Every structure is written in C-alpha cells, then in structure tokens.
C-alpha cells in the first residue's frame, strides 16, 4: 500500500516552500479556449516574463491548444529548464505512455517534474499504474491526480505514490474544503489550486460598475459554458466582488491580489496556478506584493461570501412536489434548511460512492426551485 510521497521530501521539494507559491497555469497560452489567441510571440514573452518574476512552477497539458501550450513552454523555458518545474497531464482516455512521450517531445525535455492523470474516468486505476511505471523509468519525477473525488483519491493512494492533487479552488468555489483538502493534509499531498480567479471573473473585468450584464464570450471560448457567467449566479458573484473592492483598496491591493492573497492564506494550499497570455497580465498577476492576507481580512471576505450565498429555505410546497423526483433531486430538497452549505450537501452525496455531486449542481437546481416558488433565498 502506498502512503503518498511527502511533498517536503520528494523530487518537487525545491519548488514547494513552507508558504504557498504562485505557479503558472499554461492553458491560456496554448492559444485556444480563452478567446482570441493573441500573438504567439506575446504568449512566449509571457512565459519568460513569469520566470523573470520568480515563477518556477509551470502546469500544462496536451489538451491545452492541442499541444501548443507544451511546445511553447518547451521553447520558452529551454534555457531555464534546470531551475523550473514543468507539470503536465495525461488525458482520462489516453494511453499513458503515448501521451507522456508525446508531451516530452513537445516540451523538448527528457522528463517532466510531475505527470498527473487529468481526470479519473473509466480504467483510471490502470492508467495510474502505467504512469507509475513511467515514473520508475524517470520520464516523470513525481505523480499527481486531478479532479477526483475524495474516495478516488483515497483509492489512488493505494495504487501509486502520489505527490500532488489538483482541483479548482477560489473564494467562490470551495468544494475541496469539505473532503479533499483535509485528506491532502492527512496524507501529506501537495495541493495545487487551479481557477484561482474563477476563470477571470475575479479580475473585475466583467463586473465593473455600473452593474453590467453577463459577458458574452466568443464561440470556442470555454467560458460560454460556465454557469457563473449566467443568470442568478453571475449576479451573486458580482455582488460579492462589489463588496470586496473596498477591502482591496484598503489593503492597497488589486482585486486580483486580494483573490490570490485569500488563497495563499488558506491552510494546505501548496501552489496557486494562475494564467496569463501576455506580459501585462503577468505583471497584474505575479506581483511582488501578492502576499497572504491577514486572518482578519480573510474572515471579512468569508463573511461577505457567506452573506451573499445564504442557502435557500424550502417553501411548504416543496415536500409534496419532490415526491416524484429522482433520487438526487430529492436528496438536495430534503437538506434545504437555510443553513446547510451547498458544498456540504454535495459532499454528503458523494460520500455514497455514486455519481459525484458538486456545489455548482446544487446551486443550479436550487435556483430552479426558487423560480418555481418551491424555495426561498
């Protein structure tokens, strides 16, 4: 039985300090999925400028720009390869060896510092075993898992010596606080947080006063499908951001600095992965004052989020209406009490080992109940 590789003793130790660090998430520099691709030279400059800013950890995947992210990193980091860590991934349905060896060719490197299974879908245990074989062959110095439930993560630790776990985490999206972060702490796994700025929402770009409508993203931009850029959820998040701005101003920080500082102050977070497509965005994100927030400021932010995201209460009509619903819907309806956080409801369902649930699914469903007069909040 593998107990997981200690982050402070393994091959990533020189890139993981006692304090949370900022790493470079290289999806956007791949040139696809984030609006206009921009000039390739500008994207390469962003990578090199991040190194100049002191960034030493770069996270990519073959799917980012159909390999373009890896090719760009390989060229831009070639002169600095020995002093930076490159993490890549293997797709949930890809052959591990073919995928990783393809990544190494695009990165122009003999190894990656970390290879991660991007998502545990069918036959994921087999893929993790094969990744461990590739680690033994020194094609990867460490192994990680992304986007798994706590049950899958516990199972993975019996299969291979994991060093890291990566999932979405920001001041809005906190599912990992329920199960995965405590598990990482207990099993000495480094936690890598992606989407720290909620896919750009926490830059303030889409919420500047006066109250704007939800943004309209171009075809091919993955944010077209993200629920928090729509409807009631967008309005809730806009309200939070409006109340965060005076705190950022008081602390002498940008909204980006406040959001990243909140994450850097959270216990058990090892690396915060932020993206950039040009040097100006690097300057906005990887700033010298991107420091952890004080506990008082962190509590003030948490209080605002809790106030805006108060759980809904059932109306008297809900129990009768729910009698004919599916099991998942009834499960949510039975736990609406105006107090229980949606993350806790989702985690309790996921504990059962069935198809997992996340808070976003609960929010979308509860918003529908509110519209039908079956819930209030």
- Which tens digits make up the pLDDT trace of 203-227? 999 988 777 889 999 999 999 999 9
Compute CA 146 distance to the chain's CA centroid, rounded to the nearest angstrom.
Answer: 9
Least confident of 102-111, 204-213, 260-269: 204-213
Determine the pLDDT at residue 1: 41
Least confident of 27-36, 116-125, 193-202, 257-266: 27-36
Give catalytic status of residue 64 as yes or no: yes
Residue written as token pair 């950022």: 248
* 3-state SS class at 376: strand
The number of beta carbons lying within 10 Å of the beta carbon of residue 93 is 13
Determine the pLDDT at residue 37: 83
Determine the pLDDT at residue 160: 96
Looking at the chain, the whole-number percentage of residues with pLDDT higher than 70 is: 96
Residue written as token pair 């216990």: 267
Give the pLDDT band (50/70/90) at residue 251. very high
CA-CA distance, 207 to 174, in Å (whole number)? Answer: 21
Q: Which two tokens stand for residue 111?
A: 């190894």
Determine the pLDDT at residue 81: 95
Catalytic residue among 2, 64, 111, 342: 64
Determine the pLDDT at residue 10: 57
Does the reported pTM lie above 0.75?
Answer: yes
Give the pLDDT band (50/70/90) at residue 374. very high
């Amino acid at each position: 039985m593998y107990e997981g590789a200690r982050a402070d003793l393994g091959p990533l130790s020189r890139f993981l300090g006692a304090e949370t660090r900022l790493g470079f998430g290289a999806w956007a520099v791949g040139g696809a999925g984030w609006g206009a691709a921009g000039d390739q030279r500008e994207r390469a400059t962003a990578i090199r400028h991040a190194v100049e800013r002191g960034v030493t950890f770069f996270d990519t995947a073959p799917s980012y720009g159909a390999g373009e992210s890896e090719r760009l990193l390989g060229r831009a980091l070639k002169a600095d390869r020995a002093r930076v860590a490159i993490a890549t991934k293997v797709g949930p349905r890809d052959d591990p060896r073919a995928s990783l060896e393809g990544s190494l060719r695009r990165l122009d490197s003999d190894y990656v510092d970390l290879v991660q299974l991007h998502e545990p879908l069918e036959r994921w245990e087999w893929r993790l075993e094969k990744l461990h074989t590739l680690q033994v062959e020194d094609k990867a110095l460490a192994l990680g898992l992304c986007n798994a439930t706590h049950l899958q993560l516990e199972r993975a630790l019996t299969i291979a010596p994991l060093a890291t776990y990566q999932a979405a985490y920001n001041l809005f999206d906190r599912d990992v606080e329920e199960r995965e972060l405590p598990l990482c702490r207990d099993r000495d796994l480094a936690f890598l947080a992606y989407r720290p700025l909620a896919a750009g929402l926490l830059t303030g770009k889409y919420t500047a006063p006066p109250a704007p409508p939800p943004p309209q993203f171009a075809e091919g931009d993955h944010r077209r499908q993200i629920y928090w850029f729509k409807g009631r959820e967008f309005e809730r998040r806009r309200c939070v951001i409006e109340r965060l701005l005076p705190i950022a101003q008081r602390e002498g920080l940008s909204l980006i600095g406040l959001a990243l500082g909140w994450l850097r102050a959270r216990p058990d977070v090892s690396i915060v992965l932020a993206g950039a497509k040009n040097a100006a965005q690097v300057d906005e994100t990887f700033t010298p004052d991107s420091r952890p927030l004080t506990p008082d400021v962190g509590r003030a932010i948490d209080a605002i989020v809790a106030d805006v995201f108060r759980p809904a209460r059932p109306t008297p009509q809900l129990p009768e209406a729910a009698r004919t619903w599916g099991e998942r819907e009834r499960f949510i309806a039975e736990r609406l009490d105006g107090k229980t956080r949606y993350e806790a409801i989702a985690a309790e369902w996921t504990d059962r080992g069935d198809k997992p649930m996340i808070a976003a699914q609960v929010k979308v469903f509860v918003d529908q109940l509110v519209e039908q007069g079956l819930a209030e909040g």
